[in-house]
Amino acid sequence: MKAKKCSAREALRQAIKPGDRVFFSIASGQPQSLLQALAEDFEHYHNVEVVSGYLLTEHPLARPGFESSFHCVSLQISPSIRKAWEEGRIDFIPMPISDVPFIYSAKGPTPVDVALVQVSLPDSDGRVSLGVSTSMAYPLAAGARTIVAEVNDKAPQTMGPCSFPVSEIDYLVESSAPLIPYPEIKIGDTEHRIAEFVAELIPDGATLQIGIGNLPAAILQLLQGKKDLGVHSGMLSDGIVDLVEKGTINNRRKNIFPGKIVAGELIGTEKLFRFSHNNALLEMHSAEVSHNARLIAEIDDFISINSVIEIDLTGQINAESLNGLQISGVGGQFDFVAGAYFSRGGKSITALTATATKGTISRIVPRLAGGAAVTIPRYLTDIVVTEFGIAKLRGKSFPRRAEALISIAHPAFRDELWEAFPKKEKR
């Protein structure tokens, strides 16, 4: 069956029925024309559940007055949608990315009916690539009843298995819009000091997972002297491009997907998007590969690097909530930490600034408060880094963990942290 070319409004009206569950691809892969058309035509839709993840813009369908049309749920409360979440217009689902392909599959408990995806122009074989967003978008589109694809001539054609023949797409909507970029990166002295400690822990030949943001960008800048690094990551940022161009990342020593960067999302700027276009060095995959902890555990010398909100003296990590309020999500952090834990020569590095709120609050705390999310259990926490040093927790008792973490807390909080540590656990 040949895909039907039509306007966004026409495609969506034909594709989406009352009570349907709809997924749209995330971050820089957001299908902007399709979502704009849904928002403008919201009165036509009734009781449609809309599933999404990390977004770089306000949620276009979670506006006041849209509630009877769209029930919006998200796997990640990113800063751009936090207000809508706080005001009750978005529901949160605690779920690691690795679970998404099953939970929303045709055989899962909450199958997706319609997938809205951004794709590249067709290649010479008549296939369109899902471009910069594949971890969730590809498996959910593959299992959906209906695929509506926004064919954006600005979207890169990325390599790997995440593409469809045009004949498998139900509706094609043409567009031409710059991809949504990640905001400007700003690296301060504190991030630089943390990055110096993290760089010490990364040997030549390691395979990395690292997120996006100011601290990951600082870490990537300090890896330029390393040799033969590889990448298997949920997300890629602009900093990866610099390391490839300098020869630092060549994936030469990877024993799984040798010679290839593997990722599920590209979240950056035009620099990253152009780098990814028809680049055989990079393969975009679904979460069944990009976030597969069992596969990651088979990668030798795999190093997971993640930022968090707080950690307590037993090693419990909260990367999602603040004062009991959800401000992020599980994302891929648990998947990569678990994979690194079982990798031969692997390390899981948790990097955070020692304080928050202009130095008035310690991010190393005696115990996580009631209502705080436990993103990573204490038995999986490996290495913790702040601007004051490195704490290695794996294999340590409670007292030794507390000592190690207090030694990298801000000096202004060290005495009170030790005083708050339970006396019965001190040795």
User: Do 153 and 198 have their domain in common?
Assistant: no
pLDDT digits (tens, 9 = 90+) for 67-104: 999 999 999 999 999 999 999 999 999 999 999 999 99
Instruction: Measure the CA–CA gap between 386 and 388, rounded to whole angstroms.
Output: 5
What would the pLDDT profile of 406-415 be if each residue is shown by its tens digit? Answer: 999 999 999 9
Domain that holds residue 17: 4-175
**Angle of CA points 222, 223, 227, to nearest 5°:** 155
Instruction: Evaluate whether residue 358 is within a structural domain.
Output: yes
- Classify strands 70-74 and 90-92 as parallel, antiparallel or unpaired: parallel
- Sheet order of strands, 171-175 included: 4-5, 171-175, 146-152, 114-119, 21-24, 48-52, 70-74, 90-92
Domain final residue, candidates 145, 175, 205: 175
CA 187, chain centre distance (Å): 20
184 domain residue, yes or no: no
Q: Which residue has the tokens 């990573």?
A: 376
Residue 2 has pLDDT above 70, yes or no: no
What's 77's domain CATH number? Answer: 3.40.1080.10
- CA geometry: angle at 261 spanning 301 and 319, to 5°? 65
User: Do 161 and 215 belong together in one domain?
Assistant: no
Q: 231 and 153 in one domain?
A: no
- The answer on 235 and 375 residing in a single domain is yes
Question: What element of type H or E holds 114?
Answer: strand 114-119
Q: What sign has the CA pseudo-torsion 39, 54, 49, 292?
A: positive
Cβ-contact 134, 160 below 8 angstroms: yes
In this structure, the answer to whether residues 146 and 212 fall within a common structural domain is no
Question: 110 with 21: CB under 8 angstroms?
Answer: yes
CA distance 190 to 203: 23
Q: Looking at 146, 175, 204, which one is the last position of a domain?
A: 175
Domain annotation covers residue 394: yes
Q: What is the pLDDT of residues 183-238, one digit of tens each?
A: 999 999 999 999 999 999 999 999 999 999 999 999 999 999 999 999 999 999 99
- Is 288 within 8 Å of 100 (Cβ atoms)? no
According to the model, what pLDDT value does residue 423 have?
67
CATH number at residue 289: 3.40.1080.20
Q: Is the pLDDT of residue 370 over 70?
A: yes
Say whether both 59 and 109 belong to one domain: yes
Out of 144, 175, 206, pick the residue that ends a domain.
Answer: 175
> Cβ(197)–Cβ(389) under 8 Å?
yes
State whether 94 and 164 are in the same domain.
Answer: yes
- Tell whether 287 and 196 lie within a shared domain: yes
The answer to the question of residue 82 being in a domain is yes
Residues 262-293 have pLDDT tens digits of 999 999 999 999 999 999 999 999 999 999 99
What pLDDT does 426 receive? 57
pLDDT over 80 (residue 425): no
Give the pLDDT score at 101: 97
Residue 168 exposed, middle or buried by CB count within 10 Å (0-12, 13-18, 19+)? middle
User: What distance in Å separates the CA atoms of residue 332 and residue 292, rounded to the nearest whole number?
Assistant: 10
97 Cβ contact partners less than 8 Å away, ≥ 6 residues apart: 53, 75, 135, 136, 234, 264, 287, 290, 291, 330, 331, 332, 335
Q: Is there a single domain that holds both residue 218 and residue 363?
A: yes
Query: Is residue 331 domain-shared with residue 353, that is, in the same domain?
Result: yes
- Provide the number of structural domains found in the chain: 2
| 182 falls within a domain | no
pLDDT score of 1 more than 70: no
Q: What average pLDDT does the segment 119-148 reach?
A: 97
Examine residue 181 and state whether it is found in any structural domain, yes or no: no
Residues 237 and 365 in one domain: yes
Q: Does some domain include residue 133?
A: yes
- In a domain, residue 302? The reply is yes
Same domain, 154 and 277: no
Task: Classify burial at 189, counting beta carbons within 10 Å of its beta carbon; exposed 0-12, middle 13-18, buried 19 or more.
Answer: exposed
Q: What is the mean pLDDT of residues 156-170?
A: 97
Question: Hey, is 389 helix, strand or coil?
Answer: strand
